[in-house]
């Protein structure tokens, strides 16, 4: 049941990789996220080198996002125009992220940077999402409705130059904040091996007030484009993409994403955000444990006298 991964230079159970790919693909299709925020840590936890896990995961994210995008496309739940605007900003962020990734790898600081980034990023975002989703559930149970947005009531950043109208997303505003959001998310995604959907989805809902039904499909479409770029850049610059590992993850992810898309249709908004917040917090806590807890194998470096 073991298979040798040439770039990672380790042997792992191929059935385990298929199951992991299927489970993460299911989550990807259900929540409209790339799934890398779960798969990359899982690969690291089972012994895959950090650089290989991050670079190879980009290919799996692209594959699972493609199948999820197709499902939402058929339902008319993808804003292609908005997705392209996000992707253009994402391409710049991806290039910067791969450059930073390579610099940290050469300095020998990549593992530390990724671990700390997961703890901080996931702790903050997961905590905020958890509080907001619990508040939404509490208000819903008490029958308190939030005031609807009035016509012409938009955040100041949508009034910046270069405005566009996105009919399907019911949004009219500047593309500058959208591009900056995509650039930031793509940078983080290229460094950490995540699609960034867990950031993009709540940001598009809360900061730009785009309907949740459109956000999921559009997020997957944008992730597909930026992760394809990340895969090519990682493969051509640091040669860390393990094709054997990527193929196993893709096969499992493609199958899982189809089922996740079906389940995602029936999730209520409050439950959707609560479950995603719990997943994000769980990954952050796991990395925090690795940093804080004493490792099983400890060693020290001392100078021996002749």
Distance of CA 33 to the CA centre of its chain: 5
Q: The dihedral of CA 64, 23, 117, 175: what is its sign?
A: positive
Number of H helices, E strands in the chain: 10, 4
Residue 106 has pLDDT above 60, yes or no: yes
Computed over every residue of the chain, the mean pLDDT equals 77
- Look at residue 256 and tell me if it is in a domain: yes
Whole-angstrom distance, CA of residue 186 vs CA of residue 248: 24
Structural domains of the chain, count? 1
- Look at residue 16 and tell me if it is in a domain: yes
Segment 210-234 shows an average pLDDT of: 82
pLDDT of the residue at 151: 47
State whether residue 10 is helix, strand or coil.
strand
- Look at residue 53 and tell me if it is in a domain: yes
Whole-angstrom distance, CA of residue 29 vs CA of residue 33: 7
User: Domain span at residue 180?
Assistant: 2-292
- Look at residue 303 and tell me if it is in a domain: no
- Look at residue 60 and tell me if it is in a domain: yes
Alpha-carbon separation of residue 283 from 39, 117, 121, 260 (angstroms): 10, 12, 10, 20
The pTM (predicted TM-score) of the whole model is 0.71
| More confident position, 296 or 116 | 116
Segment 39-50 shows an average pLDDT of: 82
The runs of H, that is alpha helices, within 142-151 are none
- Look at residue 298 and tell me if it is in a domain: no
- Give 266's pLDDT tier (boundaries 50, 70, 90): low
Residue 46: other Cβ atoms inside 10 A:
14
- Look at residue 88 and tell me if it is in a domain: yes
Whole-angstrom distance, CA of residue 238 vs CA of residue 54: 11
* Cβ contact 3:14 at 8 Å: yes
| More confident position, 289 or 239 | 239
pLDDT of the residue at 96: 92
Segment 3-11 shows an average pLDDT of: 83
- Give 92's pLDDT tier (boundaries 50, 70, 90): very high
Segment 228-254 shows an average pLDDT of: 82
State whether residue 163 is helix, strand or coil.
strand
Residue 272 has pLDDT above 80, yes or no: no
Whole-angstrom distance, CA of residue 5 vs CA of residue 182: 32
- Look at residue 29 and tell me if it is in a domain: yes
Q: What angle do CA 175, 272, 230 make, to 5 degrees?
A: 50
Alpha-carbon separation of residue 112 from 107, 118, 123, 287 (angstroms): 11, 10, 17, 11
Residue 32 has pLDDT above 80, yes or no: no
- Give 290's pLDDT tier (boundaries 50, 70, 90): low
Whole-angstrom distance, CA of residue 241 vs CA of residue 168: 36
Which of 131, 56, 133, 115 minimizes the C-alpha distance to 284? 115
Residue 149 has pLDDT above 70, yes or no: no
Whole-angstrom distance, CA of residue 88 vs CA of residue 73: 20
């Amino acid at each position: 049941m073991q298979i040798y991964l040439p770039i990672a230079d380790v042997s792992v159970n191929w059935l385990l990789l298929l199951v992991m790919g299927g489970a993460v693909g299911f989550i990807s299709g259900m929540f409209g996220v790339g799934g890398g925020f779960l798969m990359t840590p899982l690969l690291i936890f089972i012994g895959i080198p950090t650089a290989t896990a991050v670079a190879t995961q980009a290919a799996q994210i692209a594959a699972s996002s493609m199948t999820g995008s197709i499902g939402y496309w058929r339902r008319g739940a993808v804003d292609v125009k908005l997705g392209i605007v996000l992707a253009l900003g994402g391409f710049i962020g991806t290039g910067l992220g791969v450059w930073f990734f390579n610099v940290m790898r050469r300095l020998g600081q990549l593992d530390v940077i990724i671990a700390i980034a997961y703890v901080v990023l996931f702790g903050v975002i997961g905590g905020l999402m958890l509080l907001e989703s619990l508040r939404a559930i509490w208000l819903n149970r008490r029958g308190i409705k939030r005031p609807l947005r009035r016509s012409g009531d938009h955040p100041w950043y949508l009034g910046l130059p270069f405005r566009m109208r996105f009919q399907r997303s019911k949004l009219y505003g500047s593309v500058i904040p959208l591009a900056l959001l995509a650039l930031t998310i793509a940078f983080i995604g290229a460094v950490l091996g995540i699609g960034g959907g867990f950031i993009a989805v709540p940001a598009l809902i809360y900061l730009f007030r785009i309907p949740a039904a459109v956000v999921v499909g559009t997020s997957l479409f944008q992730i597909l484009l930026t992760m394809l770029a990340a895969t090519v850049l990682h493969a051509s610059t640091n040669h860390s993409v393990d094709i054997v590992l990527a193929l196993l993850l893709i096969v499992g992810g493609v199958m899982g994403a189809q089922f996740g898309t079906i389940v995602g249709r029936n999730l209520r908004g409050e439950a959707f955000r609560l479950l995603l917040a719990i997943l994000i917090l769980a990954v952050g806590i796991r990395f925090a444990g690795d940093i804080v807890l004493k490792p099983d194998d400890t060693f020290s470096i001392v100078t021996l006298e002749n």
